[in-house]
A and B are shown apart, each in its own frame.
Chain A
Amino acid sequence: MKPKPILLSWLLLSIVVLSGCWNSKELSHLAIVSAIGMDKLPGGSEYRISFQVINPSEISSGIQGGGGGRTTAVTVFADNGSTLFEVIRKITRKVPRELLFSHVKVLVIGEALARDGINDLFDTFERLHQTRLTTKVVIARNTSAEEILGVITPMEKIPADAIEGKLEFSSNLWSENLEYTIDDIIRALVSKGREPVISGVIVQGEIERGRKKSNVEMSRPDALIMVRGLAMFKDGKMVQWLDGDKARGVIKLLGKIKSSVEELDCGSKKDAVTVELTKSKTRIKTSMHNGKPLLEISIIEEGGLVDTKCALDLARMDELAMLEQRWSKRSAEVVTASIEAAQKQKSDIFGFGEALNRTNKLEWKRVQNDWNTLFAKGEIRVVVDSYIRNSGMRIKSFLQQS
């Protein structure tokens, strides 16, 4: 005979009932965190951690039952504590719901904290199951992370989305920034042959007025978050901001450039030709010569001409070749400047050490503990091959005809 079915079903039912609703959380009891900000409190080892929490009914007020119009799209809650987790629990005194971290888009680190060192920050992110290592990281430049989180942004209702969007598109199209995730940073921190670089964000305008909803009720917002610069780290501590060409040189060296804009001289006219970079490939190779590293960089880049302010005859190959040469030279200068800047800070943000590790493991083992000083003394050799593949919809500029 079969086992008694009624008894069996009662037992099975008890599995369901006795286990309770494990980990069940009603959506209406959750506060969706869109961004986390971390700052250092002046004096002492405590952090000030801020959470940008979404007010769902403000985001999708079109939905029935949503309401909306009462408050801002996000609210920032902040508290002090010595670890992230402590603050997560402590903040419940201020937030009426439980925080949900699986949708955090951006982690903002205050500049002061970054300069103090970021080594200790990321352990919790790896341990908690909710937090995601694909969260983008930025540094709040000249300000605190809490201030950045508080700025209400136009177009994107959630400021974290705005930061993420700016980071993504400026990285793809302008290439002075980098989308660096927590995971990337942890890997760079662990590696002895590489140091992290993290994009910076600043608030343009009046921060005070950026916190109000009225900030987005005008055509030119009082305060605007802007992505600017790359923070260079050494031993987990931020040492310097890189801007403009230096930042672009770093991105180019890292091989992370997707598309960019380069300006070239045309005869005596400065920056008279604009090239859209469409493809760039970087190879780095490190070797040791007489106790000094030789840093060899070879870059192949392609692009199209998009703007001229002088009469160029692009039908002539030698004109084009000259332009290409000029571009190569300029790229080499930019890249060299970036490396030199890093050498000055003894911070190998490009991963030359890792490159050495790949080619000569024994040598690397010998020098790895002293790598940063060796890197600073390294000899740079840059080879750039540039190709201008097209000139857009025209060959001759109308400037030439007139």
Chain B
Amino acid sequence: MRTSTEESSLQEELSVILAQLQQRLGNSPDLIMRSIRIPSSPTTHVTALHIDGLIDKQMMNDSGLCSNLAGSGSDLTTHGSTIQEGVYSLLYNHASALCEVSTTRTLDGVLASILSGDTVLLIDGIAEAICCGTKGGESRGVDEPTTQVVIRGPKDSFNETLATNISLVRRRIRNPDLWLEKMKLGKKTQTEVAIMYMKNTVDDELVQEVKHRLQKANLSAVLESGAIEEMIQDQTATFFPTIYNSERPDVIAANLLEGRVAILVDGTPFALLVPTVFAQFFQSPDDYYNRFDVGIFLRMLRYICYLISLLLPSVYIAAITFHQDMIPTTLLISIASARDGIPFPAFIEAMLMELSFEVLREAGVRMPRAMGQAVSIVGALVLGQAAVQAGIVSTAMVIVVSITGIASFSTPAYNVAISARLIRLFIMILAATLGFYGILLGCIVLLAHMCSLKSFGIPYMAPFAPFRLFDQKDNILRMPRWSFIKRSRLIHQEEAAESWGRAMNASSKDSSDSKGE
């Protein structure tokens, strides 16, 4: 907001200030000015300013400033030396009782206040404005999460209002150790960003690092947490997300208890969590709410599905173009008969199918919801059936691509699943040129790359590499809950009872271990 030269302090004359403000805001019609008459001092002009839609109208009207002020006391001079000062202190006291109040002496301060939803009271003759916190306005309610769906578990999710989101987390961790820091990011948007952490659990250096990186992030606009994620992540040139995001308050709470730092951004339901390890993307809150055996099974299934979504088309290509001897004879004959008369080499065929599947998927996401369904039906029927009948692709390839597609949906985190889609194409090229040898090469490079990644100083592949036996109980496996805490004696019952979250996970350990790195 500091674009103009008017870094100046407020004028005393009300009409001048109002004119200045209107000029700065380009005579915006949504700047609402209300004159307030003080009964006991009719000559003092008081104006309340706010932007339409940003404030809580209920608060303004019902318990609001205007109506209550009207009937206020008479002895104004007892509050100050002049009548104006008397009015000022009267208003100040009154407002304090209703909402949080601050004062500003600059025009920019006034502007910042009203733009973030405050109501500003200006008194003729006083060069100081009273800013009342009346933030509110329309916002979406707390709905069910749409991206991280669980069968069993809390059904609330963040919305676009920071205060709501913070309260959702606070409600889960009623502990004074849950600390919150706020800052404004984005030179133009001045978006509020909150950092949350558990004071005695988290590594202090991590908090410092997060704050440092956030301040260093030279953003002009923060419209979604993705912008922040990109600016504070450790490495840009990678397929893998190194920062976890979630719209589920229970996930954020659990991770805070593990010692992570959450970054909540106003205007988006997606909160960030740092540091992040690869295994996190395969954990669903469901794992912890169901029995542990179910949890283990589902989690292993997800890892297998990820491998399928990464490698299946490549393995298929490699097997039928290089390693026909590995396929059982009957299957080979079926594939051969299905491929008889297919005009393209297996690789081109696979690419065709993969790309059309991706197009379908993208179209399905972008289409208006009512039409989305039509797209998938048309896609499945027309593309699949007709392409096979026309002899453009073989049935085996349709099966492979569909299994791959379905498998990629089973990864709970969308951002990792989508990166697998990209990597898949590269490995397919390798498979088509070098066979299994190529797939192996690709996997080695990929693994080496993953091992080189870090998220806020924590090795990305943490409990795998470096390998920590102790942390394996909540990695691919999800052992029974009592194993998450060290076996405690009776004296430590409290501690045991408190750790309902996924204590002892990889990174909380690592964050204290790898300070030197």
| Any B CB within 8 A of the CB of A103 | yes
Considering only residues 75-122 of chain A, those with a C-beta below 8 Å from chain B are 100, 102-103, 105
Q: Which listed residue, A19, A105, A132, touches B433 by the CB 8 Å rule?
A: A19
The stretch of B28-36, B184-192, B387-395 in contact with A is B387-395
Other 20 A-B pairs with CB < 8 A, given A21-B434, A68-B337: A16-B433, A19-B434, A22-B434, A25-B321, A25-B324, A26-B345, A27-B335, A28-B340, A32-B336, A56-B336, A59-B333, A59-B337, A61-B337, A64-B395, A65-B337, A65-B342, A65-B389, A66-B337, A66-B340, A100-B325
Query: In the docked arrangement, what's the CA distance between A332 and B388, Å?
Result: 64
Give 5 nearest A-B pairs by CB, closest first. Answer: A102-B325, A56-B337, A56-B336, A66-B337, A103-B329
Q: With an 8 A cutoff between CB atoms, is A20 at the interface?
A: yes
A residues apposed to B, CB below 8 Å:
5, 16-17, 19-28, 30, 32, 34, 54, 56-61, 63-68, 100, 102-103, 105, 130, 132
- For residue A19, which residues in chain B have a CB less than 8 angstroms away from its CB? 433-434
CB neighbors of A among B328-348 (8 A): 329, 332-342, 345-346
Select one of B237, B322, B438 contacting A25, CB under 8 A. B322
Complex Cα spacing A75 to B339, Å? 19
Asked if B320 is at the interface of the complex by the 8 Å CB criterion, the answer is yes
B345: A residues at CB distance < 8 A:
26
A164 shortest CB reach to chain B, Å: 10
B401 to chain A, nearest CB (A): 16
Q: A26-B345, A56-B340, A67-B340 are in contact. Are A32 and B333 (CB under 8 A)?
A: yes
Chain A residues contacting B438 (CB-CB under 8 Å) are: 16
What chain B residues lie within 8 Å of A28 (beta carbons)?
336, 339-342
CA distance A21 to B321 in the complex (A): 9
Contact A63 B434 (CB under 8 A): no
Flag if A24 contacts B322 (CB, 8 Å).
yes
Could you write out 21 A-B pairs with CB less than 8 Å apart? A16-B438, A20-B433, A22-B433, A23-B435, A24-B432, A25-B322, A25-B324, A28-B336, A28-B342, A30-B324, A32-B332, A32-B336, A56-B340, A57-B340, A58-B337, A60-B334, A60-B337, A63-B334, A64-B388, A65-B394, A65-B395
| Other-chain residue from B325, B329, B332, B433 in contact with A130 (beta carbon distance below 8 A) | B325
A67 to B391, CA, bound (A): 11
A88 to chain B, nearest CB (A): 16
**Binary CB contact string for chain B from 203 to 232 against chain A (1 if under 8 A, 0 otherwise):** 000000000000000000000000000000
For residue B382, give the distance in angstroms from its CB to the closest CB of chain A.
15
Q: Which residue of A lies closest to B345 (CB)?
A: A26
Complex contacts, A65 vs chain B, CB 8 Å: 337-338, 340-342, 388-389, 391, 394-395
Q: Write the nearest CB–CB distance from B317 to chain A, whole angstroms.
A: 9
B429 at the interface (CB under 8 A from A): yes
Q: In the complex the two chains form, what is the Cα distance from A44 to B340 in whole Å?
A: 40
B residues with CB within 8 A of A? 237, 320-322, 324-325, 329, 332-342, 345-346, 388-389, 391, 394-395, 429-430, 432-435, 438
Q: Is the interface of B mostly helix, strand, loop or mixed?
A: helix
Contacts of B333 in A (CB 8 A): 32, 54, 56, 59-60
B341 touches A27 (CB 8 A): no
- Measured in the bound complex, the distance between the Cα atoms of B339 and A25 in whole Å is 13
Asked if residues A27 and B395 are in contact (CB atoms below 8 Å), the reply is no
Q: Which residues of B contact A66 (CB under 8 A)?
A: 337-338, 340
Select from chain B the residue with minimum beta-carbon distance to A102: B325
A27-B334 in contact given A5-B237, A21-B432, A64-B395 (Cβ < 8 Å): no
Q: How long is the Cα–Cα vector from A222 to B332 in the complex, in angstroms?
A: 30
Chain B residues with CB below 8 A from A20, complex form = 433
Q: Which has the most chain B C-beta neighbours within 10 Å: A26, A27, A57, A66?
A: A27
Given the complex of chains A and B, what is the CA–CA distance between A60 and B322 in angstroms? 22
Contact A63 B322 (CB under 8 A): no
CB-defined contacts of A27 to chain B, threshold 8 Å: 320-321, 324, 332, 335-336, 339, 346
A residues in contact with B332, CB < 8 Å: 27, 32, 103
- CB-CB < 8 A to A23: which residues of B? 322, 435
C-alpha spacing A58/B201, complex, angstroms: 68
What are the residues of chain B within 8 A of A34 when measuring CB–CB?
A: 329
Q: What are the residues of chain B within 8 A of A105 when measuring CB–CB?
A: 329
* B324→A100 contact, CB < 8 A: yes
B321 surroundings in chain A (CB, below 8 A): 21, 24-27
B residues within 8 A CB of A5?
237
Residue numbers in B under 8 Å from A56 (CB-CB): 333-334, 336-337, 340
Report the bound CA distance from A203 to B298 in whole Å. 56
Q: Tell me the smallest distance from the CB of A3 to a CB of chain B, in Å.
A: 13
**B395, A63: Cβ atoms under 8 Å?**
yes
Residues in A neighbouring B433, C-beta threshold 8 A: 16-17, 19-22, 24
CA distance A24 to B433 in the complex (A): 7
| Most chain A CB atoms below 10 A, which of B322, B334, B339, B342 | B339
Residue of A nearest to B394 (CB): A65
Smallest CB-CB separation from B319: which chain A residue? A27
For A26, what are the chain B residues with a Cβ–Cβ distance below 8 Å? 321, 345-346
A64, B433: Cα distance in complex, Å: 28
In the bound complex, residues from chain B placing their C-beta under 8 Å from that of A24 are 321-322, 432-433, 435
From the candidates A22, A57, A61, A102, name the one contacting B324 in the complex (CB within 8 A).
A102
Bound-state Cα–Cα, A30 to B515, Å: 59
Question: In the complex, which residue of chain A has the Cβ closest to the Cβ of B317?
Answer: A24
Question: What is the chain B residue whose CB lies nearest that of A101?
Answer: B325
Decide if A63 touches B324 in the complex (CB within 8 Å).
no
